[in-house]
């Protein structure tokens, strides 16, 4: 498998800091619950929370939506543990590709009556979208390439890479 750097670690670090500043401004005076989508978003979420300037809570969901490089119907493996009614939620996702997973999650959480629900994605592939969903905070818009590193994987491999790579065919 041939990997090529798409976004380097310094560019990622800089953009995560900028996102944290924007989120901190928007949530000033509030205590949002950051809902990380496991497993892919864990590195992004960890770096993001270290840069935030507002008090937060953290929760997680786990939704299986890929096998290898192929998408599948979302399947919830882990749901949020806390009552989210009246709370400000910020879903933290590694990548929005077809949008099906994040759309599914939003539809699952909205009936629980959060005060607000926003989406923060490190990567966005708008040309692959199959549903009408947009992130409120986006790190990078990327072309239609399969990416790994910085938490992203193929069958649980390559998450540990510090840069974001695309898989060259």
User: pLDDT averaged over the chain?
Assistant: 92
Share of the chain above pLDDT 90, in %: 79
**If you write DSSP's letter for every residue of 18-72 in order, what string do you get?**
HHHHHHHHHTTT--PEEEEEETTTHHHHHHHHHH--S--EEEEEEEEEEETTEEE
Q: Does 2 have pLDDT greater than 90? A: yes
**Is residue 97 annotated as part of the catalytic site, yes or no?**
yes
Name the band, by pLDDT with cuts 50, 70 and 90, for residue 92. very high
Name the band, by pLDDT with cuts 50, 70 and 90, for residue 18. very high
pLDDT digits (tens, 9 = 90+) for 111-125: 999 999 999 999 999
pLDDT given for residue 66 in this prediction: 53
Q: Cα-flanking dihedrals φ and ψ of residue 7, to 5°?
A: -135, 125
Q: Does 107 have pLDDT greater than 60? A: yes
pLDDT given for residue 64 in this prediction: 74
**Domain covering 2-65+73-168, topology:** Rossmann fold (3.40.50)
The mean per-residue pLDDT over the stretch 43-53 comes to: 98
Q: Which is catalytic among the residues 26, 47, 59, 97?
A: 97
Name the band, by pLDDT with cuts 50, 70 and 90, for residue 155. confident
């Amino acid at each position: 498998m041939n990997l090529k750097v798409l976004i380097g670690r310094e560019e990622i670090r800089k953009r995560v800091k900028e996102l944290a500043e924007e989120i901190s401004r928007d949530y000033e005076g509030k205590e949002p619950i950051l809902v990380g989508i496991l497993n892919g978003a864990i590195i992004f979420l960890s770096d993001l929370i270290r840069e935030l300037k507002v008090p937060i809570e953290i929760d997680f969901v786990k939704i299986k939506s890929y096998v290898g490089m192929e998408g599948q119907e979302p399947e919830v493996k882990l749901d949020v543990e806390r009552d989210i009614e009246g709370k400000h939620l910020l879903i933290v996702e590694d990548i929005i590709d077809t949008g099906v997973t994040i759309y599914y999650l939003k539809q699952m959480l909205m009936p629980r009556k959060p005060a607000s629900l926003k989406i923060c994605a490190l990567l966005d592939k708008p040309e692959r979208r199959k549903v009408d969903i947009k992130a409120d905070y986006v790190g990078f818009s990327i072309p239609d390439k399969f990416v790994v590193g910085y938490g992203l994987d193929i069958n649980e491999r390559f998450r540990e890479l510090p840069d974001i790579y695309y898989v060259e065919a």
